[in-house]
């Protein structure tokens, strides 16, 4: 099928992003590093290796300015990234012009200070999981379950129960497997510990770190509740306004990354298509590493789900050699 139809390929925009990063770096007293993730992807442990590749051979300054844009992902991965960056840099300043939610919030908590633009927000870190035994939605996909949702169901039952009502778990178990409930409780405890550990890289007052961790985990009615700069200061984070000129340049960089991450579907027929989307980018001066899908999808009608075929998705590395730009596979396993 692919031979009959040209595959859509998104732009890499190496020169455009490098020129902008060079312009940004000229006005900073440290190194600049961008970590940008599409809304169709998430932070995972493998992302630590591209960070190492960007940082390992640099003539480093003492301070890192880390631009983060992500909807979230793995808290364990955020801890690994913070631990790695702390091996290279004495001070870290997080630059947040846009969304920086969930595990991305955890990540920027590892910075000595956070600078937020007018469009920026952090979020709560109460953990939701998609378990192998989770309920399925109308498309037969597993849905996430959060501790906050489960607690609210129990609280509603307790506030409205009648004398004849039995334990609510008998009904809850009809929809949510008990192992899922146990796993959600476990990862909630994990998210508090992860956040406290991340804050401890620069915060000596562990009681304050635990207070912030508990607030982020339990004080908000929604996992996606937007924590703006005013609220971030209220819970004790070291945050400040992002300078307007720098904020505008970071928004320009976001536009370029968004163009790179445009949907790149090539439809063959109603049951088959190819996906070539760029999902995440780690970029510093003279080096860009990005993860790109490269696989076919087929819809199995009898199972009501899409399955992938011919998966060649991989990290890619772009670097300028003399006058040419070299692009190679960057293997992470």
Q: Which residue has the higher pLDDT, 56 or 120?
A: 120
| pLDDT(204) > 90 | no
Exposure letters 192-223 (e unless 16+ CB within 10 A, then b): bebbbbbbebbbeeeeebbebbebbbeebeeb
Closest alpha carbon to 122 in 87, 90, 95, 89 = 95
Task: Give the phi and the psi of residue 261 in degrees, each rounded to 5.
Answer: -95, 15
Q: What separation in angstroms does the CA of 45 have from each of 75, 80, 320?
A: 9, 7, 27
Q: At a CB cut-off of 8 Å and minimum separation 6, what does 199 contact?
A: 109, 110, 209, 212, 213
Q: What mean pLDDT comes out for the span 174-178?
A: 77
Q: Which residue has the higher pLDDT, 315 or 175?
A: 315
63: tokens are 């301070």
Adjacent-strand bridge partners of 136 = 142
- Quickly state the pLDDT bin for 323 (edges 50, 70, 90): confident
Q: What mean pLDDT comes out for the span 149-175?
A: 72
DSSP per-residue string spanning 87-154: HH-SEEEEEESSBB-THHHHHHTTSSEEEE-TT-BB-----EE--TTS-B-TTS-B--EEHHHHHHHH
Output the pLDDT for position 34: 97
Q: What mean pLDDT comes out for the span 253-272?
A: 93
160: tokens are 């409205």
Model's pTM, two decimal places? 0.84
Closest alpha carbon to 92 in 122, 68, 69, 126 = 68
pLDDT tens digit string along 302-316? 888 889 899 999 999
Output the pLDDT for position 20: 96
CA distance 315 to 263: 17
- Quickly state the pLDDT bin for 281 (edges 50, 70, 90): very high
Cβ atoms within 10 Å, residue 59: 5
Residue whose entry in the numeric block shows the structure tokens 């008998």:
170
| pLDDT(65) > 90 | yes
Q: What mean pLDDT comes out for the span 109-122?
A: 95
For the ranges 86-100, 183-197, 216-230, the lowest mean pLDDT is seen at 183-197
Domains (range + CATH), the chain: 2-124+220-330 (3.90.226), 128-184 (no CATH)
pLDDT tens digit string along 227-257? 999 999 999 999 999 999 999 999 999 999 9
Output the pLDDT for position 118: 95
Adjacent-strand bridge partners of 306 = 299
Q: Which residue has the higher pLDDT, 105 or 1?
A: 105
Which value, in Å, is the radius of gyration of the alpha carbons in the chain? 22
| pLDDT(151) > 70 | no
Output the pLDDT for position 146: 64
At 66 the three-state DSSP class reads: strand
82: tokens are 């913070």
Q: Which residue has the higher pLDDT, 284 or 130?
A: 284
212: tokens are 């912030």
Output the pLDDT for position 260: 95
- What integer best gives the mean pLDDT of the chain? 86
| pLDDT(82) > 60 | yes
């Amino acid at each position: 099928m692919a031979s009959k139809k040209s595959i859509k390929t998104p732009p890499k925009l190496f020169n455009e992003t490098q020129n902008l990063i060079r312009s940004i770096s000229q006005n900073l007293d440290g190194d600049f590093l961008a970590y940008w993730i599409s809304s169709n992807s998430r932070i995972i442990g493998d992302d630590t290796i591209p960070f190492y590749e960007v940082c390992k051979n640099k003539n480093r300054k003492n301070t890192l300015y880390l631009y983060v844009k992500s909807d979230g992902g793995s808290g364990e991965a955020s801890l690994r990234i913070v631990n790695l960056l702390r091996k290279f840099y004495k001070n870290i300043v997080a630059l947040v012009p846009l969304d920086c939610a969930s595990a991305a919030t955890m990540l920027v908590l590892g910075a000595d200070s956070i600078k937020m633009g007018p469009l920026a927000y952090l979020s709560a870190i109460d953990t939701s999981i998609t378990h192998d035994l989770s309920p399925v939605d109308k498309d037969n996909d597993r849905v996430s379950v959060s501790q906050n949702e489960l607690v609210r169901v129990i609280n509603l039952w307790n506030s409205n129960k009648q004398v004849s009502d039995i334990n609510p778990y008998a009904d809850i178990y009809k929809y949510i497997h008990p192992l899922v409930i146990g796993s959600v409780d476990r990862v909630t405890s994990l998210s508090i510990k992860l956040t406290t550990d991340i804050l401890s890289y620069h915060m000596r007052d562990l009681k304050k770190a635990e207070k912030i961790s508990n607030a982020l985990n339990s004080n908000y009615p929604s996992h996606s509740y937007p924590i703006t700069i005013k609220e971030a200061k209220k819970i004790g984070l070291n945050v400040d306004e992002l300078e307007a000129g720098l904020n505008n340049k970071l928004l320009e960089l976001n536009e370029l990354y968004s163009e790179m991450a445009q949907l790149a579907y090539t439809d063959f027929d109603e049951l088959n298509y190819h996906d070539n989307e760029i999902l995440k980018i780690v970029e510093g001066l003279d080096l860009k590493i990005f993860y790109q899908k490269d696989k076919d999808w087929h819809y199995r009608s009898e199972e009501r789900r899409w399955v992938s075929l011919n998966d060649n998705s991989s990290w890619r590395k772009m670097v300028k050699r003399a006058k040419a730009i070299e692009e190679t596979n960057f293997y992470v396993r």
